[in-house]
Structure formats: C-alpha cells, structure tokens
Amino acid sequence: MRVLGIETSCDETGVAIYDSQLGLLANQLHSQARLHDAYGGVVPELASRDHVRRITPLLAAAMDEAGLQRGDIDGVGYTAGPGLIGALLVGASFGRSLGYAWRVPAVAVHHMEAHLLAVNLEEDPPDYPFLALLVSGGHTQLLQVRAAGDYTLLGESLDDAAGEAFDKTAKLLGLGYPGGPQVSALAQRGRAGRYRLPRPMTDRPGLDFSFSGLKTAVALVVKDLADDDEQARADVACAFVDAVVDTLTIKCARAIRQTGITRLVAAGGVSANRQLREKLTAMAADSGGRIFYPRPEFCTDNGAMIAYTGYVKLSAGASQPLAFAAYPRWPL
C-alpha cells in the first residue's frame, strides 16, 4: 500500500509518500520560519495563505521524487488536528479532495498520534507496549501505548507546554523565531549553576506537568540583567534548559517505576534537543530500559509521519466520508 501524507497543522507544509513494502519514498517539506520571524511567532492568516501557495508544488515534487503517477497512490492521510484551524483546513480540504478525485480512500490523522508513531519510520522501532513522552510546541504528554490506537494518558501539561515555554523564554532573552533551537544554542555557551530555576511539580506525586511558573521565574531573572551582558543571558538559557530537561526526565523515570514498562519513546519537536536526549538516555539505562527517538527531521512537523499514520489507519480499515472537518483541539 502506498499512502500520500499531507501536513499543514501550523507553519510547515509537508507532503510525503509511504510504501508499506519499501518504506518512505518521498518527503517534501517547506518551513515558514523566515516568514514568521519578523513577527516573533506564527501569524495564523499568513500561515494559511502560505500553505495554499506551497501545497500543490510540494505534491508535484513528492510524486517526482518517488517516480509515481496518481494511479500508483492507494490512499491519502491528512492532518485534521490539533493545530491552527485555518492551516488545518488547507490540508484537510486538499487531502480529502485528492482522495475523491483519485478514487482512493482518505483518512483524517491526529497530529500528535503521528508524532508518537514516527518512531516506526526507523529501522529498529520499539515493541509494544511502551511509554511515550510527546513534547512539542503545544503539547507535553506522557502516555502508555499498548498498540497503535490504544493509548492511556498518564500525565500532561496543566498550562504551558514545554515548547511554549521555550518560545516564551526566547522572547524574554531577545531571541528570534523559532525560539526552541535558539534557546538551546545559547544555552550551549552558558555556565551551569549560576542561576537556579524551579523544576515544576516534581516535588509532588503524579505525572502532570506545568511550565508557566518556570517562564515567570525566567522573566524575574531577566528583568535584572544588563542589556549588554551576553554571558548572563547564556547562563539563564542554560539554567532554563536544565530545568526543563530535569523536569521531563524526573517525570519519565517516575512513569517507568509506576508502570514497570522500560521502553520509552520521546517524540515531538522538543525531543530533538541534545541535552534532553542525553539525560533521557542515561535515565533509561539506569532504569534497566531503553529509549527510542525518531531522527531529528521526523521530530518536527513533517509529512512522513502523517503518511505512515495514514497507512496504519487505512490498513486497519479506517476511512472518512466526503464531508471533512478540522479540529484545533482534539484529545488523543
């Protein structure tokens, strides 16, 4: 089965083709980072318009990359949520229309489920069951995964997600968009230990997260910094990254102890962070387990994970009616 995947949930337009026998045949992606950088964050209307401009050329490029014609496609998967409603509607209407025009089934894909299943694009995916840490711009969640489509939510952020905290900290430090990679790069030049920031909700039981207080703690430190003190800014970035990484690692270790499941998947944009990967890998080894990651290009939003998840759903018999919908909020 060959499945076309379409991703337009936020500020990346992705089109990919997954073959159940041969693996990933094409993966085309356009990032809007430069478009939104001048505004310090994503402007929804600009994002939607850019998806409209990019999606047809990316489809043509993906078909050329794979060496396929439209008759070679057996199904379409498209991101239906969660995300920016205008952006989602571009991909959902395009994907459902392609399915109708090409006379193949089309299926709505949950964006966070696709992040979770992206690890199966790797050569050595984990066996079920496993735990999953999903850390993206808008979500921080811990799940128990028994099989594809069989998930139990163990904990989630009660306010800001880790990715949102990265972006807000970037603004406080005067960095550009996207904030996460820039904060991480600045932290590499920082000196550990100069500032001590809280590890939210690690001093109480449970697996939920909260990062709004950490953002506030950063703001209180930053307001006392001299404008030209670059080293101090790097030290704050270092302290912030350490706090986020420690918090996520502590909660994952707690989930392993509570469930007895020692296989852990970390996925989503923040999971590409080098410090987080190092800390989680060491924690998993100490717990007698193993951690699995998608490669970095499959951590951020992409069409490949949508194509694969679409294949999983279509092979299980899922399909969508001609009427389609998009869901800015959509529980996993």
Output the average pLDDT for the chain.
95
Please, are residues 111 and 40 in contact by the beta-carbon 8 Å criterion? no
pLDDT digits (tens, 9 = 90+) for 64-83: 999 999 999 999 999 999 99
Instruction: Determine the Cα–Cα distance for residues 15 and 65; give it in Å rounded to an integer.
Output: 11
Please, are residues 10 and 137 in contact by the beta-carbon 8 Å criterion? yes
pTM of this structure: 0.95
Please, are residues 145 and 255 in contact by the beta-carbon 8 Å criterion? no
The pLDDT of 199-203, averaged and rounded, is: 94
Is a pLDDT exceeding 90 seen at residue 227? Answer: no
Instruction: Determine the Cα–Cα distance for residues 145 and 154; give it in Å rounded to an integer.
Output: 10
The pLDDT of 223-252, averaged and rounded, is: 94
pLDDT range class, residue 142, cuts 50, 70, 90: very high
Task: Determine if the peptide bond prior to 82 is cis (ω within 30°).
Answer: yes
Burial state string for 1-18 with b = 16 or more CB within 10 A and e = fewer than 16: ebbbbbbbbbbbbbbbbb
Query: 182 vs 9, 157, 167, 174, 216, CA distance in Å?
Result: 22, 23, 9, 10, 19
pLDDT digits (tens, 9 = 90+) for 94-128: 999 999 999 999 999 999 999 999 999 999 999 99
Is a pLDDT exceeding 90 seen at residue 177? Answer: no
Sign of the alpha-carbon dihedral angle for 82, 88, 91, 94: positive
Rg from Cα positions in the chain: 20
pLDDT above 90 covers what percent of the chain? 91
Q: In 3D, which of 26, 87, 89, 96 has the Cα closest to residue 60?
A: 26
Please, are residues 10 and 87 in contact by the beta-carbon 8 Å criterion? yes
pLDDT digits (tens, 9 = 90+) for 12-66: 999 999 999 999 999 999 999 999 988 889 999 999 999 999 999 999 999 999 9
SS3 state at 324: coil
Query: 37 vs 40, 177, 230, CA distance in Å?
Result: 5, 5, 21
